[in-house]
Amino acid sequence: MIFGADHVRSDRVLEADLCVVGSGAGGAPVAAEAVAAGKSVVVLEAGRFWRPKDFTQLEHEMFPRLFHEKGGRATRDKAVKVHQGKGVGGSTLHNINLCKPLPMAILRHWKAEHGLEALDEATATALFDEVETRLGVTTLTDNDLNHNNRVLKEGAEALGYPGGFLRHNRTGCMGSGFCELGCPFDAKNNALKVFIADAVAGGATVLADTWAVRVTLDGRRATGVEAVVRHPDTGATLHRVTVKAKAVCVSASATATPSLLRRSGVDDPGALIGSRLHLHPGTAVAAVFDRDLDSWQGIPQSWECTELLDLEDESKDLRCWLIAAFAHPAGVGSILAGFGADHARWMKDFKRIAAISPMVHDHTVGRVDPRGDFGVSIDYWPDEADRAQLRRGLVEGARILLAAGAARVVVPLSTPVEVTSADEVDRLIGSIPIERHDIDITAVHPMSSVWMGDDPATSCCDSRGRYHHADNLFVADTSLYPTSIGIPPQITTYAMGLHVGRAIVATL
Amino acid sequence: MLRLGFHDTAGVDDLEHLSAGGGSVLRSVVDTVLPPDANRSREKLTEHVRFIDGYLVGMDPADLAQLGWLLFGLEHGTILAGKLRRFTRLPPADRADVLQEWRTSSIGLRRLGYRSLAALGILAFYRDDEAFATIGYPGPLMREGWVGPAEAAARYDALLAPADAEPGSAA
Ligand SMILES: Cc1cc2nc3c(=O)[nH]c(=O)nc-3n(C[C@H](O)[C@H](O)[C@H](O)COP(=O)(O)OP(=O)(O)OC[C@H]3O[C@@H](n4cnc5c(N)ncnc54)[C@H](O)[C@@H]3O)c2cc1C
Ligand code: SF4
């Protein structure tokens, strides 16, 4: 069953074969696998248990419910926003459902650098197929394009740029466009609907509103997790929860997992934990058309442009993915427009705006440290090469928007750069500075902070997710990747969840 | 929380997270950030400030303190934008000059300050049909309550433990 803060009326002790921290794309399949193998499982989840009727489609209500720090999480200097979800189901509650498995070129690169003896191409491919089947992933078609995505497709095609329809895990989607605020229509085949539901049906106990504070250790052995139940609004500590478990799997995301491990004082001889964070950062270029687009409506991201992305051939240095990007009024208003009359001028065209986001397969290495008992402290700013990729993405995004018929294009710097013809793009956008607090840089795919590899001297976990320096402590989330993967990570994360879950079961 | 003194704090003198002075500065910020509207009442602005104050619940105390300092700096740093009066005492056009100076400042922290305050104002503004109507946005689809699939409601309800259940055993 799923319990929330209301159910916990005193300090509690629970015992289980496995304690999983975090119920998102990584943790949910771990729990489901262990339950399917007949193991007893307790899942601790910091966020609430939200049901479809709780998704009100209002930004000011849903940001606090579904996002850590109410959507305000950012790097320490607040120059890069880092959106991460919370709630039973983790970031899959509000994500956009786009499904891309790990590119094999990235896996080959990882294997060359780190071995990964338990993860060959055949194993990975079989895992991706299994995940896609369980999540009901299908390829979208022309009928699924909303106006923003049609603009991207038509503009890219006019310029001869490659691209294609994306695959998504949705069933019965009515194209309301509110995905990033949670789906009231239960159309998302996400971690909650698919894996947590299976785990609970098989007897798992899920504690929502419950924050793991530290993994307890007896020498090399993880013995469980100490946690607290917190008030969902105020964050006040209500009660303590102790889980005694034969194995612990930390799946709290690429920021919270390393923070929890560090807070727990696990052995880390190379001081590696948290030291290799990638964020897959993105920004946005927008345009006003002379016709209504209502870009907030319909499936938000159905088509991709790969003109600037080649993950197979590194020598080309094409690391920028172009995708439609739109949000609801507060989201768009705070990124795009200035204030007062300037704001009104842009927002009066809200119905006619389309936007494209370049996202960079980053080489920049950041780090994440614990902040207090519950928080994370992220240090990251894209290096010059990654900023150049972002700039290139803005240039090509602007070209695409103009090719699709935009009347004017804007790069929303503090002093916005406006362009009305393709001839001006290189001159006006090709050399823009990308400076802290001058442009919106947002990351929704943090990864690679507790990465896997065969050598304990150069990696944190083995390729079954087992932490190298403890016997029965595992990691299963985006932390595990040795590098950025250059694409959205949910499919790879679900797959790693199954893979690690099976490895854990084999040890119990 | 900082006390700013000599403010018109009516309506914001009992905020939970901001001081009355901070609330008063924030009210002037919100007034400047939002699309111009001659009919916007002071009560409406106060209501936006109270919403923002409520939104701050659970915020990290260090971040909350920073917000207090930010409002203090805005109120008393107007001289840097060539203004001789405090932010809350400036006429609207001069307040806009000050925010524009922050927005385009060569100092990153000032740009950050502007961005943080503007984002709060914008979040507070786009909450209701009146604001949505100004941009032709229809707002949420479900106005008369939830109309999702009943089967799904039952399926999710079945996952939730009964109200009187408690997990594990007492410590
Ligand atoms: C706006 C947005 C859109 C996205 N769209 C897509 C998309 O279309 N396609 C795609 O592939 N990916 C997308 N992603 C990314 C994808 O959702 C994530 O990469 C994926 O969910 C990560 O899985 P995870 O298990 O690492 O973390 P999460 O899914 O974030 O789960 C981690 C969970 O751990 C919990 N937790 C954290 N700390 C603690 C603690 N101390 N104690 C207990 N619990 C804790 C969190 O509350 C959270 O629920 C999107 C992300 C965002 C933010
Ligand atoms: S677009 Fe589809 S998946 Fe997204 S919220 Fe609407 S119905 Fe749900």
- Distance of CA A12 to CAs A31, A42, A244, A338, B162, Å? 21, 13, 11, 50, 17
From the alpha carbon of A174, which atom of ligand 2 is closest? 7
**Ligand found nearest the CA of A301:** 1
- C-alpha A496 – ligand 1 centre gap (Å): 14
Which tokens is A15 given? 């015992």
Q: Is the CB of A186 under 6 A from ligand 2?
A: no
- Closest-CA distance, B151 to chain A, in angstroms, reads 10
Question: Are A344 and B40 within 8 A, CB to CB?
Answer: no
How much is the pLDDT for B3? 47
- pLDDT confidence tier of residue B83, bands split at 50, 70 and 90: confident
Q: For the segment A238-254, what is each residue's pLDDT rounded down to a tens digit?
A: 999 999 999 999 999 99
- C-alpha A445 – ligand 1 centre gap (Å): 8
Instruction: Please confirm, yes or no, whether A68 is among the known catalytic residues.
Output: no
Q: For the segment B56-67, what is each residue's pLDDT rounded down to a tens digit?
A: 999 999 999 999
Question: Are B118 and B74 within 8 A, CB to CB?
Answer: no
Query: Does the beta-carbon distance from A185 to B148 stay under 8 Å?
Result: yes
Query: Does the beta-carbon distance from B123 to A241 stay under 8 Å?
Result: no
- Spell out which residues of chain B touch residue A83, defining contact as CB-CB under 8 Å: none
Burial class (CB in 10 A: 0-12, 13-18, 19+), B164: exposed
Distance between CA atoms of A92 and A444, rounded to whole angstroms? 11
Averaged pLDDT of chain A: 97
Which residues are bridge partners to A228 per DSSP?
A: A211, A240
- Residue B52's contacts (CB-CB under 8 Å, 6 or more residues apart) are B18, B26, B30, B120, B121, B123, B124
Which CATH number does A2-96+100-136+180-270+446-507 carry? 3.50.50.60
B1: pLDDT strictly greater than 60 = no
Over residues A148-173, the mean pLDDT reads: 98
Over residues A375-380, the mean pLDDT reads: 98
Q: Does B163 touch chain A (CB under 8 A)?
A: yes
Which tokens is A281 given? 């950062």
Q: For the segment A291-349, what is each residue's pLDDT rounded down to a tens digit?
A: 999 999 999 999 999 999 999 998 999 999 999 998 899 999 998 879 999 999 999 99
Among A222, A177, A22, A188, smallest CA distance to A93 is for A188
Three-class secondary structure assignment of A167-202: EECECCCCCCCCHHHCCCCCCECCHHHHHHHHHHHC
CB atoms within 10 A of CB A311: 21
Among A131, A29, A33, A137, smallest CA distance to A89 is for A29
- pLDDT confidence tier of residue B80, bands split at 50, 70 and 90: confident
Half-sphere exposure of A197 (CA within 13 A, CB side): 16
Three-class secondary structure assignment of A138-149: EECCHHHCCHHH
Q: For the segment A405-442, what is each residue's pLDDT rounded down to a tens digit?
A: 999 999 999 999 999 999 999 999 999 999 999 999 99
Dihedral angle over CA of A106, A108, A110, A115, nearest 10? 160
From the alpha carbon of A170, which atom of ligand 2 is closest? 3
Residue with the two structure tokens 């922050």:
B102
How much is the pLDDT for B2? 44
Q: Which protein residue has the closest C-alpha to ligand 2 atom 8?
A: A183
Distance between CA atoms of B49 and B53, rounded to whole angstroms? 6
- pLDDT confidence tier of residue A99, bands split at 50, 70 and 90: very high
Which CATH number does A143-167+281-443 carry? 3.30.410
B135: pLDDT strictly greater than 60 = yes
- Spell out which residues of chain B touch residue A372, defining contact as CB-CB under 8 Å: 60
A9: pLDDT strictly greater than 60 = yes
**Ligand found nearest the CA of B149:** 2
From the alpha carbon of A98, which atom of ligand 1 is closest? 8
Question: Are A169 and A191 within 8 A, CB to CB?
Answer: no
Annotated catalytic residue within A445, A468, A469, A499: A445
Over residues B9-19, the mean pLDDT reads: 93
What residue of B is the nearest CA neighbor of A199? Answer: B159
Q: Hey, where are the domains in chain A? A: 2-96+100-136+180-270+446-507, 143-167+281-443
- C-alpha A196 – ligand 1 centre gap (Å): 14
How much is the pLDDT for A241? 98
Q: For the segment A254-297, what is each residue's pLDDT rounded down to a tens digit?
A: 999 999 999 999 999 999 999 999 999 999 999 999 999 999 99
**Ligand found nearest the CA of A179:** 2
What proportions of chain A, in percent to the nearest 5, are helix, strand and coil?
30, 25, 45
Percentage with pLDDT > 70 across chain A:
100
- ipTM metric: 0.93
Partner residue opposite B136 with nearest CB, options A13, A207, A351: A351
Percentage with pLDDT > 90 across chain A:
99
- Residue A372's contacts (CB-CB under 8 Å, 6 or more residues apart) are B60
How much is the pLDDT for B5? 53
Q: Is the CB of A170 under 6 A from ligand 2?
A: yes
Region of A469 please: left (phi>0), alpha (psi -120 to 50) or beta.
Answer: alpha
Which residues are bridge partners to A408 per DSSP?
A: A288
Q: For the segment A23-66, what is each residue's pLDDT rounded down to a tens digit?
A: 999 999 999 999 999 999 999 999 999 999 999 999 999 999 99
Q: Which of residues 46-65 of B touch A (CB under 8 A)?
A: 51, 55, 57-60
Query: Does the beta-carbon distance from B165 to A242 stay under 8 Å?
Result: no
How much is the pLDDT for B6? 63
What are the φ and ψ backbone dihedral angles of A39, each rounded to 5 degrees?
-90, 150
Partner residue opposite A348 with nearest CB, options B112, B135, B171: B135
Distance between CA atoms of A22 and A477, rounded to whole angstroms? 9
